[in-house]
Amino acid sequence: MSASTPTLDLSRSSVELTADMCNIESVSGNETSLADAIEQALSGCAHLEITRDGDAIVAKTSLGRAQRVIIAGHIDTVPVNNNLPVSYREEDGAEWLWGRGTVDMKAGVAVALKLAAELSAPAYDVTWIFYDHEEVESAKNGLGRLAVKYPELLVGDFAILGEPSNSTVEGGCNGTLRVEVRTHGVRAHSARAWMGENAIHKLAPALTALAHYQPATVTVDGLDYREGLSAVGVTGGVAGNVIPDAAALTVNYRFAPDKSVAQALTHVQDVFAGYEVVVTDSAEGARPGLTSAIATGFVAAVGHEPQPKYGWTDVSRFSALGIPAVNFGPGNPSLAHTDDERVLTSQIVECEHALRSWLSQG
Amino acid sequence: MSASTPTLDLSRSSVELTADMCNIESVSGNETSLADAIEQALSGCAHLEITRDGDAIVAKTSLGRAQRVIIAGHIDTVPVNNNLPVSYREEDGAEWLWGRGTVDMKAGVAVALKLAAELSAPAYDVTWIFYDHEEVESAKNGLGRLAVKYPELLVGDFAILGEPSNSTVEGGCNGTLRVEVRTHGVRAHSARAWMGENAIHKLAPALTALAHYQPATVTVDGLDYREGLSAVGVTGGVAGNVIPDAAALTVNYRFAPDKSVAQALTHVQDVFAGYEVVVTDSAEGARPGLTSAIATGFVAAVGHEPQPKYGWTDVSRFSALGIPAVNFGPGNPSLAHTDDERVLTSQIVECEHALRSWLSQG
């Protein structure tokens, strides 16, 4: 740890701590200073056993409790865009903290860090995870790396991921499948179009299918998952006077967690029957994880009706490990990554109270 | 003229002269050596008055004939692709000359150059034009430059452009109009597609209209012009997880010379009613130019039924100047610009004979 490591004062309020953590810039790939500060802040806690791997930190209790909870959050952010340092602003009588990371997801991480230090005898054993590289390609993801290198640290009965969810429980997540719908033709000079075969024209039925598509809403374990099937890209064309011999439509299917990637692909192949469909990217969804007693107890402690999570998050990594997992953190997910990213400070307090109460009483 | 100027021997046959001219590489922008050789070859002809402008050469007779014919051809080619020097090959008992420029259009230029020197007393006054930069953007076109700088040189009763037409008369040319059909939407994360408005999906009716479009064949002055309406490009998309807020389809309309660009645009706007349609490029077509007595005489001398020209050529520049013009030159236009560009040597001879006979007898 270098002499220049910034320090975090965990006696400050969770709102102040959020601001302090946001002001330690940690765009993906640049998490070391913040990881150092977190490690240093927790190093004096006798109830925690700390593991550091790269810029990920795992701090776990070993109190011999009957059940173990994993509480995780990533410490990196998307790039700053003139929105640091943070500032407090009042809007409609409510206080907001503005700046990069306030929503995604240093508020959730600040709450976790404060409680990790303060709750020396929680009702469940807790594995606190602070990890790097969530906002970039999946291969770099710190949680994924820990799961491979330290599988023993990723054991638990329930997991809470502090991703923004307006401090309500958002269960599971939709899966995502990206495909290219490709067409082929024959080049010709556009002055003699009849000599060729236009690959772009062949996309017409595919686009019509998309334009008329009625996405389903699927109920899984009591939560309603809204699906979507969307063109996210289209390319084709050789030159202004050439009939194109190739075109491609990129389609993203966000599917409810009642389906596997394979089942989602079958559906997409049905929609684009007769086309060449090539998978370019996919990730399984995650069921809500709300059926266990421990999850039910957590939902009751939070006191809000659980909601489905539409976006893909790392809860599905827990899901894949067989650990029921939910999203629970301050901030409106629609404000994540935006230039006007901001969190209601009352949601930070609310999140802290709910987690503290549940972890204290079980 | 530099000491290294290659020389052209106009006493060689038109086929040999074609080969010689092809072997003086003259990709657009690199025409100077060939232009120098042409100027030098014609400089000894007392019956010709020569004007040089850049790499364009105009050589005209002034014999006081009742009518004047312009015979023009460009001396540049598209880039060479391992197809120089030229070679002779036999196929199905016929002799072909292979290589860049054999079709487009040094065979036509070789015939013109030979006749310019040899026909010292043609039945019509003749303005021979050899010009640069036809294969690149219109603003650089040597014929266009001459028309602006030397309008007095572009006066005539009839024009023959030596573009490849299988040594038959191809009359006029289709016009061309290029438009972008643009759509607009609202960005959103593709995990919440219902928050956005997908600009790519909005292209569906436009593509369906193209896929179902039945292009017309329009008879103009007795020639049948086949039209075409084709997508030549499509773009849209922001990122793999974003509902796109903009998309654009580039459409090329090749329209018969019974229509102006303005009329062609009205038609395209009808096809894409309700869309934003932005013109990116256009060029008027040209009527066949076969109604005058001089044109009728020329067609009779050639002895083949005239055909429509589908591609846009510089005949429309003559048309715009009020000069009836036709394409007439050796070579199959479908082989222009191809890597296996090649001309039937018999077509070079046929072209030379027809022009020589008509110009000699009137």
The whole-angstrom separation of Cα A50 and Cα A1 is 15
Pair (B165, B66) in one structural domain: yes
Contact B202 A192 (CB under 8 A): no
Q: B124 near B359, Cβ under 8 Å?
A: yes
Residue-wise pLDDT for B236-279, tens only, equals 998 888 899 999 999 999 999 999 999 999 999 999 999 999 99
Chain B residues with beta carbon closer than 8 angstroms to that of A226 = 192, 194
Kindly report the nearest CA distance between residue B235 and chain A, in angstroms.
Answer: 5
Tell me, yes or no, if B210 comes closer than 8 A to chain A by beta carbon: yes
Q: B328 near B349, Cβ under 8 Å?
A: no
Pair (A163, A189) in one structural domain: no
Any domain includes B8 = no
Residue-wise pLDDT for A19-33, tens only, equals 999 999 999 999 999
Pair (B165, B201) in one structural domain: no
How many CA atoms does the CB half-sphere of B317 hold within 13 Å? 22
Residue A225: strand pairing partners: A218
Strands A49-53 and A228-237: unpaired
Q: Which residue, A142, A139, A113, is CA-closest to A54?
A: A142
Q: What kind and span of H or E run contains B115?
A: helix B107-118
Pair (A91, A239) in one structural domain: no
What CA–CA distances, in Å, run from B98 to B80, B105, B339, B341?
12, 13, 10, 6
**For residue B245, what is the domain's CATH number?**
3.30.70.360
Lookup: tokens for B301: 């001398």
Tell me, yes or no, if A176 comes closer than 8 A to chain B by beta carbon: yes
Chain A residues with beta carbon closer than 8 angstroms to that of B210 = 198, 200-201, 204
Cite the active site residues of A.
76, 134
Please state the three-class secondary structure of chain A as a single string. CCCCCCCCCCCCCHHHHHHHHHCCCCECCCCHHHHHHHHHHHCCCCCCEEEEECCEEEEECCCCCCCEEEEEEECCECCCCCCCCCEEEEECCEEEEECCCHHHHHHHHHHHHHHHHHCCCCCCEEEEEEECCCCCCHHHCHHHHHHHHCHHHCCCCEEEECCCCCCCCEECECEEEEEEEEEECECEEHHHHHHCECCCHHHHHHHHHHHHCCCCEEEECCEEEECEEEEEEEEEECCCCEECCEEEEEEEEEECCCCCHHHHHHHHHHHCCCCEEEEEEEECCECCCCCCHHHHHHHHHHCCCCEECCCCCCHHHHHHCCCCEEECCCCCHHHCCCCCCEEEHHHHHHHHHHHHHHHHHC
The whole-angstrom separation of Cα B244 and Cα A234 is 10
Contact A312 B281 (CB under 8 A): no
Tell me, yes or no, if B256 comes closer than 8 A to chain A by beta carbon: no
- Tell which of B103, B104, B186, B201 to mutate to test the A interface (max A CBs under 10 Å): B201
Kindly report the nearest CA distance between residue A275 and chain B, in angstroms.
Answer: 16
Pair (B213, B186) in one structural domain: yes
* Residue B65 pLDDT: 96
Strands A325-327 and A158-161: parallel
Contact A238 B249 (CB under 8 A): no
Any domain includes A338 = yes
Any domain includes B28 = yes
Strand, coil or helix: B209 = helix
DSSP secondary structure code for residue B63 in this structure: S
For residue A282, count other CB atoms closer than 10 A to its CB: 17
pLDDT band for position B3 (cuts 50, 70, 90): low
Q: B234 near B150, Cβ under 8 Å?
A: no
Residue-wise pLDDT for B55-105, tens only, equals 999 999 999 999 999 999 999 999 998 999 999 999 999 999 999 999 999
Pairwise pLDDT comparison (B106 vs B135), residue with the higher score = B106
Lookup: tokens for A89: 């602003």
In this structure, which amino acid lies at residue A43? S
Report ipTM for this prediction.
Answer: 0.77
Per-residue pLDDT of chain A (362 residues; tens, 9 = 90+): 455 789 999 999 999 999 999 999 999 999 999 999 999 999 999 999 999 999 999 999 999 999 999 999 999 999 998 999 999 999 999 999 999 999 999 999 999 999 999 999 999 999 999 999 998 888 899 999 999 999 999 999 999 999 999 999 999 889 999 999 999 999 888 888 998 999 999 999 999 999 999 999 999 988 999 999 999 999 999 888 889 999 999 999 999 999 999 999 999 999 999 999 999 999 889 888 888 889 999 999 999 899 998 888 899 899 889 899 999 999 999 899 888 999 999 999 999 999 999 999 85
Pair (B160, B235) in one structural domain: no
User: Length of chain B, please?
Assistant: 362
Residue-wise pLDDT for B132-155, tens only, equals 999 888 889 999 999 999 999 999
Residue-wise pLDDT for B305-318, tens only, equals 999 988 888 998 99
Phi, psi (rounded to 5 degrees) for B209: -60, -40
Chain A residues with beta carbon closer than 8 angstroms to that of B201 = 207, 210-211, 230-231
In this structure, which amino acid lies at residue A181? V
The whole-angstrom separation of Cα A87 and Cα A19 is 8
Kindly report the nearest CA distance between residue A200 and chain B, in angstroms.
Answer: 6
Pair (B161, B291) in one structural domain: yes
Chain B residues with beta carbon closer than 8 angstroms to that of A241 = 176, 232, 252
Pair (B190, B222) in one structural domain: yes
**For residue A116, what is the domain's CATH number?**
3.40.630.10
Any domain includes A187 = yes
Share of residues in chain B with pLDDT > 90 (%): 81
Any domain includes A293 = yes
Any domain includes A316 = yes
Pair (A161, A38) in one structural domain: yes
Residue-wise pLDDT for A200-228, tens only, equals 999 999 999 999 999 999 999 889 999 99
- Tell which of A78, A202, A234, A271 to mutate to test the B interface (max B CBs under 10 Å): A234
Lookup: tokens for A151: 């599988």
Tell me, yes or no, if B316 comes closer than 8 A to chain A by beta carbon: no
Longest dimension (CA), chain B: 80
Find the radius of gyration of the CA atoms of chain A.
Answer: 23
With vertex at residue A28, the alpha carbon angle to CA A135 and CA B190, rounded to the nearest 5 degrees, is 20
B288 preceded by a cis bond (ω within 30 of 0): no
Any domain includes A2 = no
* Residue A2 pLDDT: 53
| Alpha-carbon dihedral angle through residues A141, A142, A148, A151, given to the nearest 10 degrees | -140
Q: B343 near B330, Cβ under 8 Å?
A: yes
Pair (A81, A165) in one structural domain: yes
Give the torsion sign (CA, B84, B338, B343, B154).
Answer: negative
Strands A49-53 and A56-60: antiparallel
Residue B289 reports pLDDT greater than 90: no
Tell me, yes or no, if B232 comes closer than 8 A to chain A by beta carbon: yes
Q: How confident is the model over B325-341, as a mean pLDDT?
A: 92
Out of A174, A201, A250, name the one closest to residue B207 (CB). Answer: A201
Out of B194, B215, B233, name the one closest to residue A226 (CB). Answer: B194
The whole-angstrom separation of Cα A249 and Cα A251 is 6
* Residue B56 pLDDT: 98
Tell me, yes or no, if A186 comes closer than 8 A to chain B by beta carbon: no
Tell me if residue B76 is catalytic: yes
Domain end, chosen from B257, B283, B309, is at B283
Pair (A318, A269) in one structural domain: no
In this structure, which amino acid lies at residue A16? E
Kindly report the nearest CA distance between residue A288 and chain B, in angstroms.
Answer: 16
| Alpha-carbon dihedral angle through residues B273, B274, B278, B283, given to the nearest 10 degrees | 0
Tell me, yes or no, if A242 comes closer than 8 A to chain B by beta carbon: yes
Tell me, yes or no, if A279 comes closer than 8 A to chain B by beta carbon: no
For residue A172, count other CB atoms closer than 10 A to its CB: 30
Domain end, chosen from A264, A283, A302, is at A283
Domain end, chosen from B240, B264, B283, is at B283
Out of B237, B244, B252, name the one closest to residue A241 (CB). Answer: B252
Kindly report the nearest CA distance between residue B50 and chain A, in angstroms.
Answer: 35
Pair (A136, A40) in one structural domain: yes
Any domain includes B3 = no
The whole-angstrom separation of Cα B189 and Cα A233 is 13
Domain of A228? 175-283
Nearest CA in chain B to A233: B237
Kindly report the nearest CA distance between residue B121 and chain A, in angstroms.
Answer: 39
Find the radius of gyration of the CA atoms of chain B.
Answer: 23
Structural domains of chain B, count = 2
